[in-house]
Homo-oligomer: A and B are copies of this chain.
Amino acid sequence: MDKREKILKAALQLFNQYGFDNTPTARITKEAGVATGTLFNYFKNKEELINVLYLTCKESLTRRLSAGLEQETTFRSKLKRIYINYIGWSLDHTDEFLFFQQFCNASCIGETTRKAGLSKFNNIMELISEGIEQEIIKNVNLEYMSNLLMGILNANTYYFIDHPSLAGDEVFIETSFNFLWDSIKN
Protein backbone atom coordinates (compact mmCIF):
# COMPACT_ATOMS: atom_id res chain seq x y z
CA MET A 1 0.00 0.00 0.00
CA ASP A 2 1.49 3.34 -0.96
CA LYS A 3 1.89 6.17 1.51
CA ARG A 4 -1.00 8.18 0.15
CA GLU A 5 -3.35 5.30 0.77
CA LYS A 6 -1.92 4.73 4.23
CA ILE A 7 -2.57 8.36 5.08
CA LEU A 8 -6.16 8.18 3.83
CA LYS A 9 -6.82 5.01 5.78
CA ALA A 10 -5.40 6.39 9.00
CA ALA A 11 -7.27 9.66 8.56
CA LEU A 12 -10.56 7.80 8.07
CA GLN A 13 -10.18 5.91 11.32
CA LEU A 14 -8.97 8.87 13.34
CA PHE A 15 -11.52 11.37 12.00
CA ASN A 16 -14.25 8.88 12.88
CA GLN A 17 -12.96 8.34 16.36
CA TYR A 18 -11.89 11.83 17.35
CA GLY A 19 -13.44 14.15 14.78
CA PHE A 20 -11.73 16.41 12.28
CA ASP A 21 -10.49 19.15 14.57
CA ASN A 22 -9.46 16.75 17.30
CA THR A 23 -7.17 14.79 15.02
CA PRO A 24 -3.74 16.44 14.67
CA THR A 25 -2.08 15.84 11.35
CA ALA A 26 0.88 14.58 13.35
CA ARG A 27 -1.31 11.80 14.70
CA ILE A 28 -2.49 10.84 11.22
CA THR A 29 1.03 10.58 9.89
CA LYS A 30 2.19 8.68 12.96
CA GLU A 31 -0.64 6.17 12.55
CA ALA A 32 0.14 5.91 8.84
CA GLY A 33 3.82 5.37 9.60
CA VAL A 34 5.06 8.32 7.53
CA ALA A 35 6.68 11.65 8.30
CA THR A 36 4.55 14.71 9.05
CA GLY A 37 5.69 16.39 5.87
CA THR A 38 4.55 13.50 3.67
CA LEU A 39 0.91 14.31 4.28
CA PHE A 40 1.46 17.74 2.74
CA ASN A 41 3.19 16.26 -0.28
CA TYR A 42 0.00 14.42 -1.19
CA PHE A 43 -2.59 16.90 0.09
CA LYS A 44 -2.41 20.67 -0.05
CA ASN A 45 -3.67 20.84 3.52
CA LYS A 46 -5.77 19.03 6.09
CA GLU A 47 -9.01 20.19 4.49
CA GLU A 48 -8.11 18.83 1.07
CA LEU A 49 -7.38 15.52 2.77
CA ILE A 50 -10.87 15.20 4.21
CA ASN A 51 -12.49 16.29 0.95
CA VAL A 52 -10.58 13.65 -0.98
CA LEU A 53 -11.60 11.11 1.65
CA TYR A 54 -15.23 12.13 1.24
CA LEU A 55 -15.25 11.72 -2.52
CA THR A 56 -13.33 8.45 -2.37
CA CYS A 57 -15.93 6.99 -0.01
CA LYS A 58 -18.83 8.30 -2.06
CA GLU A 59 -17.44 6.72 -5.21
CA SER A 60 -17.02 3.39 -3.48
CA LEU A 61 -20.61 3.56 -2.25
CA THR A 62 -22.22 4.55 -5.52
CA ARG A 63 -20.32 1.88 -7.43
CA ARG A 64 -21.81 -0.68 -5.09
CA LEU A 65 -25.34 0.70 -5.07
CA SER A 66 -26.12 -0.14 -8.65
CA ALA A 67 -24.53 -3.59 -8.59
CA GLY A 68 -26.89 -6.14 -10.11
CA LEU A 69 -29.59 -3.52 -10.60
CA GLU A 70 -30.11 -4.36 -14.26
CA GLN A 71 -31.15 -7.92 -13.37
CA GLU A 72 -34.15 -6.72 -11.40
CA THR A 73 -37.39 -6.33 -13.29
CA THR A 74 -39.96 -4.64 -11.04
CA PHE A 75 -39.68 -1.27 -9.35
CA ARG A 76 -39.95 -2.89 -5.94
CA SER A 77 -37.22 -5.43 -6.61
CA LYS A 78 -34.93 -2.71 -7.95
CA LEU A 79 -35.45 -0.68 -4.82
CA LYS A 80 -34.87 -3.72 -2.64
CA ARG A 81 -31.65 -4.40 -4.52
CA ILE A 82 -30.47 -0.86 -3.78
CA TYR A 83 -31.54 -1.34 -0.15
CA ILE A 84 -29.52 -4.53 0.15
CA ASN A 85 -26.54 -2.99 -1.63
CA TYR A 86 -26.55 0.04 0.67
CA ILE A 87 -26.65 -2.06 3.81
CA GLY A 88 -24.14 -4.53 2.41
CA TRP A 89 -21.69 -1.76 1.58
CA SER A 90 -22.15 -0.22 5.02
CA LEU A 91 -21.42 -3.53 6.70
CA ASP A 92 -18.35 -4.09 4.53
CA HIS A 93 -17.20 -0.49 5.01
CA THR A 94 -18.49 0.51 8.41
CA ASP A 95 -15.78 3.11 8.92
CA GLU A 96 -16.72 4.73 5.63
CA PHE A 97 -20.43 4.64 6.46
CA LEU A 98 -19.91 6.25 9.87
CA PHE A 99 -17.60 8.80 8.29
CA PHE A 100 -20.46 9.85 6.01
CA GLN A 101 -22.93 10.12 8.81
CA GLN A 102 -20.56 12.32 10.76
CA PHE A 103 -19.32 14.53 7.95
CA CYS A 104 -22.13 14.69 5.39
CA ASN A 105 -23.15 18.08 6.79
CA ALA A 106 -19.84 19.21 8.26
CA SER A 107 -18.50 22.57 7.20
CA CYS A 108 -15.04 21.16 6.45
CA ILE A 109 -16.54 19.44 3.40
CA GLY A 110 -16.59 22.06 0.67
CA GLU A 111 -19.61 22.92 -1.45
CA THR A 112 -17.84 21.71 -4.58
CA THR A 113 -17.11 18.34 -3.01
CA ARG A 114 -20.68 17.95 -1.80
CA LYS A 115 -22.12 18.74 -5.21
CA ALA A 116 -19.75 16.30 -6.88
CA GLY A 117 -20.88 13.68 -4.39
CA LEU A 118 -24.58 14.32 -4.95
CA SER A 119 -24.37 14.05 -8.71
CA LYS A 120 -23.46 10.40 -8.32
CA PHE A 121 -26.97 9.68 -7.07
CA ASN A 122 -28.63 10.93 -10.23
CA ASN A 123 -29.59 7.55 -11.65
CA ILE A 124 -31.24 6.50 -8.40
CA MET A 125 -33.19 9.75 -8.31
CA GLU A 126 -34.44 8.95 -11.79
CA LEU A 127 -35.64 5.56 -10.67
CA ILE A 128 -37.63 7.19 -7.86
CA SER A 129 -39.10 9.68 -10.32
CA GLU A 130 -40.32 6.86 -12.52
CA GLY A 131 -41.91 5.15 -9.54
CA ILE A 132 -43.86 8.31 -8.81
CA GLU A 133 -44.92 8.83 -12.43
CA GLN A 134 -46.11 5.26 -12.72
CA GLU A 135 -48.06 5.70 -9.47
CA ILE A 136 -46.25 2.80 -7.85
CA ILE A 137 -45.24 5.00 -4.94
CA LYS A 138 -46.89 8.01 -3.34
CA ASN A 139 -46.90 11.27 -5.24
CA VAL A 140 -44.81 13.77 -3.30
CA ASN A 141 -41.98 15.92 -4.49
CA LEU A 142 -38.64 14.27 -5.11
CA GLU A 143 -36.75 16.18 -2.43
CA TYR A 144 -39.15 15.01 0.27
CA MET A 145 -39.07 11.44 -0.98
CA SER A 146 -35.29 11.15 -1.15
CA ASN A 147 -34.93 12.77 2.26
CA LEU A 148 -37.29 10.25 3.75
CA LEU A 149 -35.73 7.30 1.98
CA MET A 150 -32.28 8.23 3.25
CA GLY A 151 -33.67 8.58 6.77
CA ILE A 152 -35.24 5.12 6.71
CA LEU A 153 -32.24 3.62 4.97
CA ASN A 154 -29.80 4.98 7.52
CA ALA A 155 -31.94 3.98 10.48
CA ASN A 156 -32.01 0.43 9.15
CA THR A 157 -28.30 0.46 8.41
CA TYR A 158 -27.42 1.50 11.95
CA TYR A 159 -29.48 -1.40 13.21
CA PHE A 160 -27.73 -3.87 10.93
CA ILE A 161 -24.35 -2.53 12.01
CA ASP A 162 -25.28 -3.06 15.65
CA HIS A 163 -26.57 -6.57 14.86
CA PRO A 164 -24.31 -7.84 12.09
CA SER A 165 -25.59 -11.41 12.32
CA LEU A 166 -28.87 -10.19 10.80
CA ALA A 167 -27.08 -9.51 7.52
CA GLY A 168 -27.63 -13.13 6.49
CA ASP A 169 -31.20 -13.30 7.74
CA GLU A 170 -33.36 -13.14 4.60
CA VAL A 171 -36.55 -12.94 6.65
CA PHE A 172 -35.39 -9.92 8.64
CA ILE A 173 -34.08 -8.23 5.53
CA GLU A 174 -37.53 -8.59 3.96
CA THR A 175 -39.24 -7.47 7.18
CA SER A 176 -37.06 -4.41 7.50
CA PHE A 177 -37.35 -3.54 3.82
CA ASN A 178 -41.13 -3.61 4.23
CA PHE A 179 -40.90 -0.75 6.73
CA LEU A 180 -39.47 1.27 3.89
CA TRP A 181 -41.77 -0.10 1.22
CA ASP A 182 -45.00 0.22 3.20
CA SER A 183 -44.08 3.82 3.96
CA ILE A 184 -43.91 4.91 0.33
CA LYS A 185 -46.00 2.48 -1.74
CA ASN A 186 -49.28 3.68 -3.15
- Residues of A at under 8 Å CB distance from B? 17-22, 101-102, 105-107, 138, 140, 143-144, 147-148, 150-152, 154-156, 158-159, 175-176, 179-180, 182-185
**20 A-B interface contacts by CB (under 8 A):** A17-B107, A18-B107, A19-B21, A21-B21, A101-B105, A140-B175, A144-B176, A147-B155, A147-B159, A148-B152, A150-B155, A151-B151, A151-B155, A151-B156, A152-B152, A152-B155, A152-B183, A180-B183, A182-B182, A182-B185
CB neighbours (8 Å) of A106 from chain B are 19
CB neighbours (8 Å) of A180 from chain B are 183
In the complex, A146 Cα to B155 Cα: how many Å?
A: 9
User: By the criterion CB–CB under 8 Å, are A148 and B19 in contact?
Assistant: no
Using known A-B contacts A19-B106, A183-B180, A183-B183, determine if residue A147 contacts B151 with beta carbons closer than 8 Å.
no
CB neighbours (8 Å) of A150 from chain B are 155
Shortest Cβ gap from A173 to chain B (Å): 13
CB neighbours (8 Å) of A182 from chain B are 182-183, 185
User: By the criterion CB–CB under 8 Å, are B183 and A159 in contact?
Assistant: no
Residue of chain B at shortest CB distance from A184: B179
Shortest Cβ gap from A134 to chain B (Å): 19
In the complex, A101 Cα to B105 Cα: how many Å?
A: 10
